[in-house]
Structures are given as C-alpha cells and as structure tokens.
Amino acid sequence: MAFQLAFAVLLRLGLALSPLRLILKDDDLLSSPLTSHSRLREGIYLFQHGIDPYSGGTFRHSPLFLSTFATVLPSSGVVCALLWLLVDAAGAWALVQIWRARSRLKSSRRDEVIAATYLLNPYIFLPSLSLSTSTFETTLHLISLMFASQGQASPALLILAISTNLSLPSLMLLPPTMLLLLTDPVSHLASPKPFPAKLTKTLPLLVEFLAYFAVLVLACSLVAGGWGWIESTWGAGILLPDLTPNPGLWWYFFTEMFDYFRPFFLMVFTMHLLIYVAPVCIKYQHDPLYATFLLLGIIAIFKPYPTLSDPGLFLSLIALFPETYPHLRYPIVTTLLHLHAALLLPLFHHLWLATGTGNANFFYASTLVFGIANGGALLDCAWAGLRVAIGEADERWVVLQE
C-alpha cells in the first residue's frame, strides 16, 4: 500500500514538472474566471504597478490570494507547480485524518486508498496541474472538515472563514460544520436519532465564525484599499458578469437569457443554491459529516463558477463512507455517465472554440450530461445514506418510500 502511495506521489510530481501544465494553463474546465492562474498573475502585475486590479473585470480572486502571492508565495515557474502539488498533498493528508477520526482508528489499511482516491482523482489533479486556485479552496475545505472532525472549533471555523472569503458558496458549509463540532464525526447513519446537543450551543460558534470572517473582510479591504473587491469577487458569483464556459449550469443559461429575465433568474439560481442547507442538515442531523459531504456535492453541481475540482472533491469524499456502498442503487450508471461527460467535455470544448467545427450546443449538452452524472451520484449517496438505517432486507421484504 505504501508503495502505491509513493507511486501516486511520484506520478503527480512527474506530471507537475511536465510541460502539460503549459497546455492546461487556460483550460476553461480546470480553472474558472474566479480561479484562473493567468488572471491571478495579471492581478498581481496590476497590483504591483499601482493599478487597482479590482477596477476591471479581469481579476476576480480574493485579496487574500493577491496579498499572499504578491508577497510570500511564488506565482510562476516550477516552484509554483510544486506548491500546488504540496497543497494537494495537504488535502490528501487532511482527508486521511478525517477518515481516521470517523473510523476512530489511529491508522488503518484504508488510509492509502483514501489518499490515493484524492491524489489520483483526475478531477482533482488536472485543476492542480493547471495551477487553478480551486486547489487551495478544496484543500481548505478538507482541512476545515478535519479540524471539525477532531473537535477543534477555532481552527475549523477560521479555515472555513478563509474558504468562504475565497469562494462565497462555502458559507453553506457553516451549519453542518457547527453541528459536526457539537457532535462527533463517527458514522451514525445506521442509527438515526435526533440531534443530541442543544442547538443554542451553535451560537458561540456562529459568533466566532462571524468574528473571523469580519476580520478577514477588513484585512481584504486594507489590502485592496477599499470595498471595490467585494463586487469583483463575491459579486461575480451573484451577477455572473463573466460568461466563460465551465462545466456548470450557469454560464450558458445566462448567455442565452433574455435581458429582462436576467435579474430574476440570477435571484432564482442564487436562492436555489441556499435552500438545500436546512433540509440536508435536518435530514442528516445524526451524521453532520455526511450532511457536509452532500452539501459539497450540491455546491459542485449548482455553484456559479465550478471547475472540475468541485465535483472532484465530492467524489473523493465518497471514500469516507464505505458503509453506504451496499445500498447504492446505480453506481455503474453514474460511473458511465461520468466517463461519458469526462470524455465529451474537453472534446466538445475543443471542437467549438479551437477547431470551430462544433458549436456551443455540443459543449452545453456535455455539461448537462456532467450535471446528470453529478446529480446521479448525489442522489444515490443521499439515498444510500438514508437506506443504511434499515439494514439488510431479504427476499420477502422490499424497502420503499411512502
């Protein structure tokens, strides 16, 4: 097993140093306008030349990225590729820690498998090769979940505040993270029970999160020299000014939207993303880690500017819940749909924009297939998470929903 892990790391190292990253650099599937490395470098260039990068539409990264990459972290060259690999490795490590916390084991034979599902997941390592900053967001999600699983409230909330600052939809993870901090990460899927702790205990956690968040916002405003960054970064996720294609559902919908319906549908799409939080947290109140997992899947499908690393995180997290595997209804279909979409997305993107022999509808159709694939995985996991409670059924019994 250790050998396999070493192989995974070496393979990733080889890929990180290969010229593949130059080809993937501006790939629309791997980096969205909010996470593109080229745009990050443009923002740093403008910042260093005394031009407010948030006065235009090219740069949409958080000021946290701007300040760290303009000062401490490298933003170009091989060092940069190694940094992204390191961040990915940290994500894999955090995922293993979550697994250990959930299975209450110091170490297990499954650790390497879990690390490998993360490190060798193409949806995770391709965005990392293209130096998309979504790699940082993914890793921060995992580290926040890791701290929450270990019951360390302050680091978990601080890191969640950072990842919310980097990408606003992460705010949806706050309720399940707080529930997780009040309970334990151990699997309770098989024995559903009402939430054991008092909900009023979430209040101090909420205040702590808001304090971290406010401090980060203030720090960002200091870096950016004003409040203009809010519209450029978070506003982009609500107003969708940049219609660059991505594997999500928003871009073509709002490219083709009638102008007078645009504000209405922007409101509907934003609200739609939010309405899942409460039901998922209520239904899975006995296992908040599973609720977080499902919410990550929902964010990956419905967020405004997704990259492949968002569904990648959701799919890698499936490794944490082996107890649900026997109850998945159609894993083969979902896998085939994913395979189908993963082949069609880059192909049709190339046909439309590079060779000019296909049109936008081809790519749009494959994003729909990708949406169905992710939705299929999400629904199956949601079903399996509830179905575990009933246990094995023999031939004389059928489990249905009333």
Contact residues toward other proteins (CB under 8 A) are 26, 28, 38, 41-42, 44-46, 49, 51, 53, 55-59, 241-245, 249, 251-259, 272, 276, 279-280, 283, 301-302, 352-354, 356, 359-361, 364, 368, 371-372, 375, 378-379, 382-383, 386-387, 389-390, 393, 396-402
Residue 97 or 130 with smaller CB distance to other proteins: 130
Q: How far apart are CA 90 and CA 76, in angstroms?
A: 20
Shortest Cβ 144–other proteins spacing (Å):
24
**What are the structure tokens assigned to 61, written together?**
């990264």
Report which secondary-structure segment, H or E, holds 360.
Answer: helix 360-387
Residue 92 or 378 with smaller CB distance to other proteins: 378
Shortest Cβ 330–other proteins spacing (Å):
12
Q: CB-based contacts of 50: which residues, under 8 Å, 6+ apart?
A: none
Shortest Cβ 52–other proteins spacing (Å):
8
Residue 38 or 107 with smaller CB distance to other proteins: 38
User: What is the per-residue DSSP string for 331-353?
Assistant: HHHHHHHHHHHHHHHHHHHHIII
At 305, is the secondary structure helix, strand, or coil?
A: coil
Shortest Cβ 297–other proteins spacing (Å):
10
Q: Is the separation of the CB atoms in 141 and 180 below 8 Å? A: no
Shortest Cβ 249–other proteins spacing (Å):
5
Please state, in angstroms and as integers, the Cα–Cα distance from residue 388 to each residue in 209, 309, 391, following that order: 33, 28, 6
Residue 91 or 248 with smaller CB distance to other proteins: 248
Residue 2 or 271 with smaller CB distance to other proteins: 271
Residue 185 or 371 with smaller CB distance to other proteins: 371
Shortest Cβ 275–other proteins spacing (Å):
8
- Residue carrying structure tokens 């529930």: 179
Residue 338 or 387 with smaller CB distance to other proteins: 387
Q: How far apart are CA 247 and CA 213, in angstroms?
A: 29
- Residue carrying structure tokens 């926040």: 144
Alpha carbon 232 to chain centroid distance?
A: 20
Please state, in angstroms and as integers, the Cα–Cα distance from residue 245 to each residue in 12, 283, 351, 364, following that order: 27, 34, 13, 9
Shortest Cβ 295–other proteins spacing (Å):
11
